[in-house]
């Protein structure tokens, strides 16, 4: 259990570093790990303006996220003004992001089942555009 927690924390830190590398000091607050996630059930791993981020690093060689992970992301974003995003990685596979289509195109109505899966770089571009941040 401790090894998986350390792996999860390391993955969260790597996502934070990717966010910082892409958005730099353009965010009002520097992204950081939400350490209360371990004490309070339903808390997001990382919060940035507009986004509630759930991170999963999984040792298995699978390729598709688990529905329970997506539900956890939705639950963590509930009652907030943030879109849920699940950022996950299997060993030796690229990082993937799951989010609601409404987060990409406001023409879609709210429906947690209308989702898309994209690369981390594409999601970072969406965040950058949604915040009006220049590179």
Domains and CATH numbers, the chain: 2-130 (3.40.1350.10)
What global pTM score does this model have? 0.86
Instruction: Give CA–CA dist 94/26, Å, rounded.
Output: 26
In the chain, DSSP assigns E strands to 46-48, 51-58, 83-90, 96-100, 115-119
Longest dimension (CA), the chain: 43
Q: Express each pLDDT in 67-104 by its tens digit.
A: 999 999 999 999 899 999 999 999 889 999 999 998 88
Q: How far is it, in rounded angstroms, from Cα 49 to Cα 39?
A: 22
């Amino acid at each position: 259990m401790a090894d998986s927690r350390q792996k999860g924390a390391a993955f969260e830190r790597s996502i934070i570093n990717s966010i910082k590398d892409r958005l730099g000091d353009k965010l009002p607050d520097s992204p950081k790990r939400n350490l209360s996630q371990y004490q309070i059930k339903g808390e997001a791993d990382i919060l940035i303006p507009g986004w509630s981020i759930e991170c999963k690093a999984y040792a298995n060689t699978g390729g598709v996220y688990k529905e329970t992970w997506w539900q956890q992301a939705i639950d963590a974003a509930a009652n907030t003004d943030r879109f849920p995003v699940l950022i996950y990685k299997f060993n030796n596979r690229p990082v993937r992001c799951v989010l609601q289509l409404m987060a990409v195109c406001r023409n879609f109505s709210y429906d947690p089942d209308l989702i898309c899966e994209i690369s981390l770089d594409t999601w970072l571009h969406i965040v950058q555009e949604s915040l009006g941040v220049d590179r």
